[in-house]
Amino acid sequence: MENLIEIPVFTPIKGKRRSSEVPDSLRIEIFRTPTKQTKLQDNRSYLTNTEKSVAYLKSKLKVEPSKIANELKRSRKSINDFLEKTKTTGNFADQNCKKGRWPKGSIKLNERQKRLLRSWLKDGKLQSARQCYIRLNKIKNLPYASYKSVNSYLKTIGGFVRPKLKSLVSPANKSKRLNYCNDYKDFNFHKVLFTDESSFQLNANNLKMFRFKGRPPPKITKFNPNYSIMVWGGISHQGKTTLKFIDGKVNAEKYQEIVMSKKTEILKLFNKRGRWFFLQDNAPCHRPERVKQFIKEQLSCDLIPHPPQSPDLNPLN
């Protein structure tokens, strides 16, 4: 019988019970695990590391590939393909490209690679070192560059930053702001209700732009459309209103509905306090005369004009 070996054992000492005697030899069958062969689409099969080692050493001893295939019980084409690969690469170890590691590349970037990176960064087409690395290695006829090399070069010329948003005030609006401050510099705002609408983004913008060393930070960028929600509210020295959540865009009619929904709360803040004022900005839904007249009649108050491009003059903002 194949795959059987005889293991000699010691004979029992005399005087022991017959049931404890062990036969002189045991016939044990050795279990051999069959070699697993994974088939490819073109009827080839992968070789294990052990089979690769055997095939490589046998080829160095000038054994024919057909004999190696018969000994390993593999197809002749699999052996031939493996031996051809070892001749060109000189290595038959598995690559680590699918294990989450960055592939190895050149240590330094050449002048063409640096020029391409600088031109892409000036155009603002890339927002991270990873995007630079991927795009650079898609260019044909260029040596492969490692991620570390690309990232190190980017640090020498600048870095990615979030752009600052800055509103530019026109000369005409600057004059209106100055006149407003002069007119109300001695005004008592204790009886003023400051109101405004504001949108809140639930997803913060994380886009970055590249800033070259020695240059001012970028101030203009294209933001992704993020989901936002709009609310209306009012604050004063006497107290505050609850927030009103708004669906969709606000026009003149919808703005009047918002004010009417908070009429009871607003009048309660200024009940028996005499004359009081309502302040709003110059949003398109606030400008119509019918809206201003509606607020005066429903809330029995006066309106304070607000200069354009002046969110800093409203404490609610």
DSSP secondary structure letters along 97-159: TTTTPPPP-BSS--HHHHHHHHHHHHHT---SHHHHHHHHTTSTTS--B-HHHHHHHHHHHEE
User: Is pLDDT at 312 greater than 70 in this prediction?
Assistant: yes
Number of helical H runs and strand E runs in the chain? 10, 9
Q: Can you tell me the distance from the alpha carbon of 191 to that of 236, in angstroms, rounded to the nearest whole number?
A: 7
Contact 138, 269 (CB under 8 A): no
Question: pLDDT of 245-267, one tens digit each?
Answer: 998 889 999 999 999 999 999 99
Predicted pLDDT at 302: 92
- 38 against 50, higher pLDDT: 50
Q: Can you tell me the distance from the alpha carbon of 179 to that of 231, in angstroms, rounded to the nearest whole number?
A: 30
Other C-beta atoms closer than 10 Å to the C-beta of 169 total: 14
What is the DSSP-derived secondary structure letter of residue 38? -
Question: pLDDT of 119-178, one tens digit each?
Answer: 988 888 788 888 899 899 888 888 888 888 899 999 898 888 777 666 678 888 899 999
Question: pLDDT of 204-247, one tens digit each?
Answer: 556 677 778 888 777 655 445 556 788 999 999 999 999 999 98
Surface-to-core class of residue 171, CB atoms within 10 Å of its CB (0-12 exposed, 13-18 middle, 19+ buried): exposed
β-bridge partners, 194: 235, 279
Q: Per this entry, what is the length of the chain?
A: 317
- For the domain spanning 188-313, the CATH number is 3.30.420.10
Predicted pLDDT at 92: 64
Cα Rg of the chain, angstroms: 41
β-bridge partners, 199: 230
Average pLDDT, rounded, for the chain = 78
Element (H, E) at 221: none
Question: Which sequence spans correspond to the domains of the chain?
Answer: 111-161, 188-313
Q: Can you tell me the distance from the alpha carbon of 67 to that of 296, in angstroms, rounded to the nearest whole number?
A: 102
Surface-to-core class of residue 138, CB atoms within 10 Å of its CB (0-12 exposed, 13-18 middle, 19+ buried): exposed
Question: pLDDT of 1-28, one tens digit each?
Answer: 444 444 444 455 555 555 545 444 444 4
Q: Can you tell me the distance from the alpha carbon of 258 to that of 252, in angstroms, rounded to the nearest whole number?
A: 10
Q: Can you tell me the distance from the alpha carbon of 53 to that of 57, in angstroms, rounded to the nearest whole number?
A: 6
